[in-house]
Structure 1
Amino acid sequence: MFITAKEASKKWGISEARVTTLCKEGRIPNVTKKGNRWFIPINANKPADLRCYKVKEKFAHFKFIDLFAGIGGFHQAMRYLGGECLMAAEINEECIKTYNLNFKTIEKQLRGDVNNIDPLTIGPFDVLCAGFPCQPFSKAGAQQGFHDKKRGNLFYKIMDILDGHPEVKFIILENVRNLADKSENWDIITSELMKRNFYITEEPIILSPSDFGIPQIRERVYILGIRKDIRNEEILTNGFIHIDDLKLDKHFKQCQIGDAWSILEINVDDSYIIPEEQEEMIYAWDEFRRGTGIQVIGFPIWLDSFGVGIENDEIVFNSQGYDEMPAWKKKFLLLNRKLYINNKEFIDKWVQRYDMMNKIKLYKKFEWNCGKDVTNIHDCLIQIRQSGIRAKRPTFYPSLVAIINTPIIWDRKKQHFRKLTPRETANLQSFHAGFKFQGTDATKYRQLGNSVNVRILKILGKSLFNLANKGWNDGKNEK
């Protein structure tokens, strides 16, 4: 008899994603795979978690603080490595509730606004963790960087805390990918940390969960630092941490088509099924794709650029301001017009059947980003966003964001399209299976969209600590 990976995860108290990884690695004897699902012998024993035991034995007894803590991504990673959280700071009330729900021992040490914290009221600690606010650097913001008077200066609050704690040995910072786009931002970070006697990463480290076989594209910048006097001088020789020093290559793993399904739950509430109108529009565009006979659509489809019912190309182009368009947009307009002319009979009937001209704008746009790798719409990852309905290969999900734009998948059991559940998005962020959430689903999605990926931080933390002299956390290296 066999049980599913989901059932094994509950039986052993680990995540379903971890069970899947153990199956792939051959750690569970006599497993079998049918389609994308693994089945485990009912009498199989849980494999020993050698990763956890080795790490904790090596890095036990260090203390860390968790600034701009969110719901505790850094906390999970550092605790896994053997750390004790001395103090955390978070300003969002909903995040504070979730943090306290999961880390009850830190409740009295969880403070609010970082600006109101006197560095001298924090006890001695070894590691400073901070996912400092990304708005000054994000594409979604004004990108004022350190010139943002409200949020850009929060980096300097981190520096104030370091100035009050010369005993700090390591720094682990995280921010959005855009932080690395302006050399001015990176130069400020480099200069300030080097003033404080740290070797830091020579260049911004840009990593995504997908680099490690986790099915999510989410590029973030990581900044690591080690106090100069505790470094292993045989490895770090010229003032910087080089990417090769971290030995990340051994952790890299490429995502494959179908990996997106590895984070899914088996039994999901019907409330996650998408509205009937959305499902109809997904099927309508799938019918369009098949009806036009185009196996690969290599450009975005814009219904309003077809010129439905208009014979004269010039009228269509002039009505859309063709002469003032950038070159890329002119190209797509011409391709859409040609697609309509070549399939006019089918498209006219299709438009009328679904009353497409009266739909909202986002239903009038479609992208097929699967190439020839996928033929069935049920095998795609779907997004419904302001830029339209997008079908993607099931290799990895797009980046989780703080706004609600949850990916959609086909649930074979329910025979409907549905949104990812909060637990599934937590799997994409590598949150452990026992992590608890409170509040509405909207709150949970937002918190996870703002969070950090726990597995990446585990890997980076371990790699960073390995660059120190032996015995750095037994009290011998205190300064």
Structure 2
Amino acid sequence: MKKVKITEFARLREKAGLSVRETAQFLGVSERTVYRLDKGENEPDALRLAEMRLLSGMPYQKSEDEKPLFRFIDLFAGIGGLRRGFESIGGQCVFTSEWDDACRKTYQANFQCDHPVFGDIREVNLDRDIPEYDVLVAGFPCQPFSIAGVSKKNALGRPHGFHCDTQGTLFFDVARIIEHHKPKAFLLENVKNLKSHDKGRTFEIIMRTLTEELGYKVQPMVIDGRGWVPQHRERIYIVGFREDVGFSFDNIKIKTPAEGPRLGSILHPEDGSEVVEEPYTVGELARVADKYTLSDKLWNYLQAYAAKHRAKGNGFGFGLFGPDDVARTLSARYYKDGSEILIAQEGKNPRRLTPRECARLMGFDLPGGEPMVIPVSDTQAYKQFGNSVVVPVVEAVARHMLPGILKSLRQGVAAERDEQIALLV
């Protein structure tokens, strides 16, 4: 009996959990073509093989001669957490905007940018400065909106909708870019409290703008990063697709807190097993430098402050943690006193996390990977990591969006082909 050879394509299809029919629909080919690819009678091109690898959960590895799967732009880029997530599924960043000088310094130290990193998004020329792209990602700041009466605006001959409701806010700039370019998809990220901000009015305007005025199919979801990193960090992710590609957050694979790591996984071991990295660690054993240990004055103040609020029945105070714990949310104010995440030390005052530990806590540094370049002061680094995203969460959301992104790209190619045929008839 002849032994049937199982091809890489067939293995990837089964690992992705796709039937022959589903694979055919996804790739935009006939079921017969899928059967032939399964059997090795046809060879899949590099693009389709890369897509199948990603869908089966394998990491993306781009070869030198391989084209990116899609193009995206990175707005309010910070230090590139969203970019990392979308590059991990085969995307190519073609435009970046970040107003903060220190963030741009860190961003450019960690990414090879073949395009300039723009500053103020409000000064970007939508036609001249932004090239063609498929997906928009943005971690825009949260600001209050004014809700104006549409009828009154009409009577005065003024614009209404998001052009007036959001004017002057940074979300307005995201919305006008979406309106102008009509990307196939977007991901917007913000703090969890966006949903309740200004008694829910802010979120109401955002959702109305994206769905009713810009015409996107939109789904928001709050995700806690605790399943990926040893930190309780809830953020809202808003995904939109221009066409109905069947996207839903209902079946996204979310890691539970029980699966998540503990602080010991990101702390400096201080036993000589780690390479010394000054100014964070020093000496033969690569111990954390003394400057991260709280002074007696600051430690006494934090204890007194916590005791005062405990007496009043309040929960304010410092957070003291060990290697088996999960930390509170790292904030941009961490540089002030480090009080939300203090690491207990035997025989001396607790200490702050080092910026390197913050990079690990946010998922920028992964075991076995290249450490992130931190070219700025500790103060700036704390602000940057405190304002950033948990990279593995973004990767999970991006991977969940990938089938929809690829489907929308194929729909776009088919529509262009039909349009060209119609012109010839």
- Tell me the distance in 2 between the aligned counterparts of 1:132 and 1:164: 18
1:358-397 matched pairs, under 5 angstroms: 387-391=316-320, 394-397=324-327
Once the 2 structures are TM-superposed, how far is the Cα of residue 273 of structure 1 from its aligned partner?
3.8
Task: Find the counterpart in structure 2 of residue 216 from structure 1.
Answer: 231
For 1:110, the equivalent position in structure 2 comes to 117
Match for residue 187 of structure 1?
204
Which residue in the other structure is 1:196 paired with?
214
CA distance change for structure 1 residues 55 and 396 in 2, over 3 Å: closer, same or farther?
farther
- 1:120 is paired with a residue whose SS is coil
1:382-419 deviation per Cα after TM superposition (whole angstroms, max 9, x unaligned): xxxxx44444574311111111243221356x976321
| 1:445–1:227 CA distance, 2 compared to 1 (3 A) | same
Q: Specify which of 384, 388, 394 is matched with residue 451 of structure 1.
A: 388
Q: What residue is the counterpart of 2:221 in the other structure?
A: 205
Q: In 2, Cα distance between the equivalents of 1:461 and 1:102?
A: 20
CA contact 1:471–1:477 (8 Å) conserved in 2: no
What is the 5 A alignment of 1:235-274?
236=246, 242-244=248-250, 247-248=251-252, 250-255=253-258, 259-267=262-270, 268=281, 269-274=288-293
Structure 2: runs of 5 or more not aligned: 1-53, 148-163, 271-280, 282-287, 417-425
Sequence identity, in percent?
Answer: 28
In the alignment, does 2:405 pair up with 1:472?
no
- Residue 53 of structure 1 deviates from its aligned partner by 3.2
2:70 is equivalent to residue 62 of structure 1: yes
CA contact 2:145–2:169 (8 Å) conserved in 1: no
1:157 aligns with 2:87: no
Q: Which has the higher contact order (CA 8 A, sep 6+)?
A: 1
Task: Quote the offset at 1:209 in angstroms.
Answer: 0.7
Q: 2:399: which partner in 1? A: 462
* In 1, Cα distance between equivalents of 2:309 and 2:111: 51
Query: 1:131: Cα distance to partner?
Result: 0.3
**CA deviation after TM superposition for structure 1 residue 278, in Å:** 5.6
CA contact (8 A) 2:184 2:241 kept: yes
The question of whether the paired residues in 1 share the 8 Å contact of 2:187 and 2:237 is answered with yes
User: Are residues 445 and 127 of structure 1, via their aligned partners in 2, closer, same or farther at CA, if it must alter by over 3 Å?
Assistant: same
* 1:428 corresponds to: 361
Could you say which residue in structure 1 is the equivalent of 2:99? 91
- Counterpart of 1:274, as a letter, is T
Give CA-to-partner distance per residue, 1:57-93, whole Å, 9 cap, x none. 9994211100011111111111111111110001111
* Counterpart residue identity of residue 302, structure 1: K
Return closer, same or farther for 1:464/1:75 CA change in 2, 3 Å cut-off. same
Q: 1:151 to 1:52 in 2, by over 3 A?
A: farther
CA distance in 1, matches of 2:165, 2:297: 42
- Which SS does the other structure have where 1:207 is aligned? strand
Residues 120-199 of structure 1: pairs in structure 2 closer than 5 A? 120-121=127-128, 122-134=130-142, 136=143, 144-145=144-145, 153-166=169-182, 168-181=183-196, 182-194=199-211, 195-199=213-217
Whether the 8 Å contact between 1:272 and 1:420 is mirrored in structure 2 is no
Look up the SS of the partner of 2:257 in the other structure.
coil
CA distance in 2, matches of 1:82, 1:469: 11
Residue 284 of structure 1 deviates from its aligned partner by 8.5
Contact map agreement 2:188 2:237 (CA 8 A) in 1: yes
Report the CA distance shift for 1:280/1:91 in structure 2 as closer, same or farther (over 3 A).
closer
Q: Is the 8 A contact 1:86 1:109 kept in 2?
A: no
CA contact (8 A) 1:256 1:395 kept: no
* TM-aligned CA deviation for residue 279 of structure 1: 8.6
Matched, 1:408 2:342: yes
SS of match in other structure, 1:129 = strand
TM-score for both structures, normalised by structure 2: 0.65
Helix, strand or coil: the match of 2:181? coil
- In the alignment, structure 1 segments of 5+ residues that lack a partner are 1-48, 137-143, 286-299, 306-328, 334-366, 368-386
CA distance in 1, matches of 2:388, 2:181: 26
How far does residue 190 in structure 1 lie from its aligned partner after superposition?
1.9
Give the aligned residue type for 2:350.
F
Secondary structure of 1:266's match?
Answer: coil
1:263 counterpart letter in structure 2: I
Alignment of 1:39-50 (within 5 A): none
Report the 3-state secondary structure (helix = DSSP H, G, I; strand = E; otherwise coil) of the residue aligned with 1:438.
coil
> How far, CA to CA, are the matches of 2:249 and 2:259 in structure 1?
25
> Contact 2:319–2:328 at 8 Å: present in 1 too?
no
Contact 1:255/1:396 (CA < 8 Å) preserved in 2? no
Following superposition, the deviation at residue 187 of structure 1 comes to 2.4
Indicate the SS of the match to 1:197. coil
The structural deviation recorded for 1:153 is: 2.0
| Distance in 2 (alpha carbons) for counterparts of 1:275 and 1:97 | 29
1:235-291 CA-partner distances (Å, limit 9, x unpaired): x3xxxx5431xx22x332224798122111224332344134169749999xxxxxx
**Structure 2: which amino acid aligns with 1:225?**
G
Distance change in 2, residues 1:301/1:72 (3 Å):
same
Shift of 1:302: 2.9
Contact 2:321 2:343 in 1 (8 A): no
Aligned-CA RMSD value: 3.6
Q: Deviations over 1:178-219 (max 9, x none)?
A: 110143222222222223231101xx3111211x24211121
AA aligned opposite 1:422: P
After superposition, the Cα gap between the structure-2 partners of 1:95 and 1:304, relative to the gap in structure 1 and judged at 3 Å, is closer
Structure 1 residues 198 and 388: CA distance shift in structure 2, 3 A: closer
Cα gap change, 1:279 to 1:114, in 2 (>3 Å): closer
Corresponding residue for residue 242 of structure 2: 227
